[in-house]
Chains A and B, each alone.
Chain A
Amino acid sequence: MNIPSHLKYTKSDEWFDPSTGAVGISDFAQSQLSDIVFVELLVEEGEEVSAGKAIASVESVKASAEIYSPVAGKVSAVNKGLSDKPETLNSDPFGEGWMIKIEGGSAGDMMDSAVYEKDCEGRAH
């Protein structure tokens, strides 16, 4: 499982990049969901979001899931091409699969990669 160390993580499997403000779902999340077939981003550029607000809806062949904003701030960019290529979330969740970018967000008490790895191991079975 890939868990980049420069990112911060939530219990609900979102990642946040404190340096770029990018938000997405983790490799663990995409592997649990299996093949993702649908993504809808629920926020627009310029919108203010609070931590915990639903920012995207994701469906796989197994389940559907809401993706929540890990931080509060202003949406500075959305990955518009994602809905046409939902499989990007499976192939490159930390890169091309970014969902939105949030300005002014603080990672606060989000998990670092080591703590998140333990959390995933605890949930794997």
Chain B
Amino acid sequence: MATTSTPLSASIVEPTIFELSSPGRLGVTMPASDVPETALPPKNLLRSELPLPELAEVDVVRHYMRLSKFNYSVDDGFYPLGSCTMKYNPKINEDTCRLPGFLYTHPLQPIKTVQGNLVLMFDLQEWLKEISGFAGMTLQPAAGAHGEFTGVLMMAAYHKSRGDSKRTKMLIPDAAHGTNPASAGMLGMSVVTIPSDARGNVDLKALATACDDTVVGMMLTNPNTLGMFDENIEEVIKMVKDCGGLMYGDGANLNALLGIVRPGDLGFDVMHFNLHKTFAVPHGGGGPGSGPVGVSDRLLDFLPSPLVGIVEGGDDDIPPLYGFVTPKQSIGRMKAFHGHFGGGLVRTYTYISMHGPDGLKAISQFAVLNANYLQARLRSTYKIPYDRICMHEFVAEGSFEGSDVRALDIAKRLMDYNFHPPTNYFPLIVHEALMIEPTETENKDTLDRFADALIKIAEEAKSQPELLHDAPHITPFGRMDEVKAARELVLCCWLPENYETMK
């Protein structure tokens, strides 16, 4: 293990592409124009200059190739980023989503020319309904939070359609993802925070106090961000429904439930999927998210439009014609077109086809087994504040009695062992939280190496705490100055005039 504490400075590692620029260098040579010249638009519509870097193609390729080597991805190694389900993304998905029939279609093509795409979307709607136990499904939302917003819009539309206008409160547990209160806030709802009890479940007493006829509903992640399946889930849902509220499920943690529990069967009215988590669509800079939303019978008529449906039944000789249908009281379009078709939907279709029902169930079983194995190996070294059988992830405390080492130091030190750090400082209800989600795609050897590293780091925290405070040591850049980055915001597309003096 290298322990040098002087990381290379950024300028030695790689200049910016602007710094590599040299006036007059060209990446491409344009042919002579073969169309007549036209006058430029009026001056006030034109920029006086456009500071683009000037480089040869080879310089551009080498610059980005060097940068790409600084990256760490799930293709490099273990990536236990809790709540993000950073599972390995099978490469067959890359083949299927690039099939020319999918790749070279346009969302405005006549439906008769894109029947294959529509059948894929129709089947995917049906499969996701089957997996989750819901009556209807939209594939439009672009990602999880967009799915949440779609779901909350439908909840509001439902109450409005019944003339029930005094419902303005959304109940949200203190373990929730921050997107939940944000989605409710987008619609002007007030958020009532429901605490978790000592076992990591929704506190039923607090819930009972909050439930009244002003409740829109509750947004619940189950298993929650502590990795705990709510032991009173049926009681929680009953309490919300008894006061006239709707039950929203945050599907971020669905990787624990495939083929085991269906949220629709539990009584949830609406839930978004994160195809980029549960169904192996690359994410985190690697591709667009996708956040389909499933609904129960009560919300069926409010789904976004259009949905994919059968518009003309077929017979023995002619297959049915697939097209678009609009639910009766639809909240309208959530996206210009039909969702992230190639990036999200084709990959998910491939992933579900490849695994089948038994395979999907095995995914969740191994995800839960892997998390429990890691939890068991780390239990005697790290405090686990909510210590019971976990689901697909668990949360440990990254601090030790009598030591000033913090979760952030442990996370950074893990990079020296060539692991991506776990999520830290979330959920907020755990002191110095380290949120660990191994996913099903890791083998026992990897889990053991990771547990060994964390146990070794706990020893280092006692014997050589400075090793942790200064970590990481073997990465191209050392410890980032997060405080400076957050306090001195530089958010513009080219360098400010005083850049040199800011460094």
Nearest A-chain residue to B482, judged by Cβ: A61
Which B residues are in CB contact (< 8 Å) with A62? 425
Asked if B431 is at the interface of the complex by the 8 Å CB criterion, the answer is yes
Q: Which 5 pairs across A and B sit closest by C-beta, in order of nearness?
A: A37-B486, A35-B483, A62-B425, A61-B482, A37-B487
Known interface pairs A35-B482, A61-B482; A86-B487 also in contact (CB < 8 Å): yes
A85–B4 Cα distance when bound, in Å, is 34
Contacts of A38 in B (CB 8 A): 486-487
Task: Give bound CA distance, A50 to B406, whole Å.
Answer: 37
Given contacts A62-B425, A63-B425, contact A125 B483 (CB under 8 A): no
Q: Give Cα A120–Cα B425 distance, bound, in whole angstroms.
A: 19
* A87 on interface, CB distance cutoff 8 Å: yes
> Would you call B428 an interface residue if the criterion is a C-beta within 8 Å of the partner chain's C-beta atoms?
yes
Min CB gap B369→A, angstroms: 30
Dominant secondary structure of chain A at its interface with chain B? loop
Beta-carbon contact of A61 and B431 below 8 Å? no
Chain A residues within an 8 Å CB radius of B425: 62-63
Which residues of A line the B interface, CB within 8 A?
Answer: 34-35, 37-38, 59, 61-63, 86-87, 125
Q: Complex formed: what's the CA distance from A43 to B225 in Å?
A: 34
Cβ contacts under 8 Å, A35 to chain B: 482-483, 486
Chain A hits for B431, CB < 8 A: 125
Q: B437 to chain A: closest CB distance in Å? A: 20
Residues of chain B contacted by A61 (CB below 8 angstroms): 482-483, 486
Q: Which chain B residues in 408-454 approach chain A with CB under 8 Å?
A: 425, 428, 431
Residues from chain A with a CB closer than 8 A to the CB of B482 are: 35, 61
What is the CA–CA distance of A38 and B482 in the complex, to the nearest angstrom? 13
**Chain B: CB-nearest residue to A34:** B406
Give A63's nearest chain B residue, CB to CB: B428
Residue on B nearest A85 in the bound complex, by CB: B487
**Whole-angstrom CA separation of A87 from B483 in the bound complex:** 9
0/1 interface trace, chain B 452-486, chain A, CB 8 Å (1 if under): 00000000000000000000000000000011001
Q: How far is the CA of A35 from the CA of B425 in the complex (A)?
A: 13
A86 to B484, CA, bound (A): 12
